[in-house]
Amino acid sequence: MKKDNILDNNYLPFAARIEDIVIESEDGSLKTFKIVFEDEADWEKWRHEPGQFAMLSVAGKGEAPIGIASSPYERDGLLFTVNRAGVVTTALHEMAVGARLGVRGPLGNGFPVDGDLKGKNIVIIAGGFAFTTLRATLLYLLENRGDFGDITVIYGARTPGMLLYRNEFLDWEKRDDINLYVTIDREAEGWHGLVGFVPQIVSQVNPSPEGARALICGPPIMIKFTMPPLEKAGWQDNQVYLSLENRMKCGIGICGHCSSGPIYVCKDGPVFTRAFLNTIPQEY
Partner 1 sequence: MNSMDTPKKLIQLSKEDLLSAINGLKDVSYTVSPNFNDNAPGPGDNIIKRFMFPQPEPLLFLEREGKDMVHRPYCVISKSSLNPDDDTSHHTISDTVAETIILGIRPCDARSLWLNRLACEEDNLFSRRVDGLIIFGLLCNKGLSTCFCEDVGGGHQDVRGMDVAMIDDGDGELRLWAVSKKGLYILNRLGIYEDDIIDGLMEGATDNSHEKVGDCSLLDELMSKDMLTLYNAPFWQDIKDSCLNCGACTFLCPTCYCFDIQDEAYGKVGRRIRYWDSCMFPLFTLHASGHNPRGEKIYRVRNRFMHKFKYFIERFSHISCVGCGRCIIHCPVNIDVREVIGLMRAVS
User: Torsion over CA of 172, 177, 179 and 182, rounded to 10 degrees?
Assistant: 0
109 binds partner 1 (CB under 8 A): no
Supply the DSSP string of 158-226, one letter for each residue: SSGGG-SSHHHHHHHHH-SS-EEEEEESS--TT--SEES-HHHHHHHH----TTEEEEEES-HHHHHHH
243 binds partner 1 (CB under 8 A): no
36 binds partner 1 (CB under 8 A): no
221 binds partner 1 (CB under 8 A): no
For the chain, the residue count is 284
CA distance readout (Å), 96 to 17, 21, 70: 10, 8, 20
Site string for partner 1, 128-167 (x = CB under 8 A): ----------------------------------------
- 23/87 with CB nearer partner 1: 87
CA angle 12, 16, 17 (to 5 degrees): 145
Partners of residue 181 on adjacent β-strands:
154
283 binds partner 1 (CB under 8 A): yes
Minimum Å gap between C-beta 235 and partner 1 is 22
- Candidates 23-31, 196-204, 231-239, 244-252 — which segment interacts with partner 1 by CB under 8 A? 244-252
- Candidates 97-105, 110-118, 134-142, 191-199 — which segment interacts with partner 1 by CB under 8 A? 97-105
67 binds partner 1 (CB under 8 A): no
261 binds partner 1 (CB under 8 A): yes
Q: Which of 162, 259, 266, 277 binds partner 1 (CB under 8 A)?
A: 259
C-alpha 147/C-alpha 263 separation (Å) is: 31
Among 233, 198, 223, smallest CA distance to 274 is for 223
257 binds partner 1 (CB under 8 A): yes
- Candidates 22-30, 51-59, 145-153, 230-238 — which segment interacts with partner 1 by CB under 8 A? 51-59
Work out whether strand 259-260 and strand 263-264 pair parallel, antiparallel, or are unpaired. antiparallel
- Candidates 119-127, 136-144, 205-213, 253-261 — which segment interacts with partner 1 by CB under 8 A? 253-261
Which phi and psi angles does 69 have, rounded to 5°?
A: -90, -20
Minimum Å gap between C-beta 60 and partner 1 is 4
- 60/146 with CB nearer partner 1: 60
CA distance readout (Å), 243 to 48, 71, 272: 16, 16, 6
Partners of residue 241 on adjacent β-strands:
215, 273
Q: Which of 15, 21, 22, 142 binds partner 1 (CB under 8 A)?
A: 15
Minimum Å gap between C-beta 95 and partner 1 is 9
Applying CB under 8 A, the residues found at the interface with partner 1 are 1, 6-13, 15, 57-64, 85-86, 89, 99-100, 102, 220, 245-247, 249-250, 252-257, 259-262, 279-284
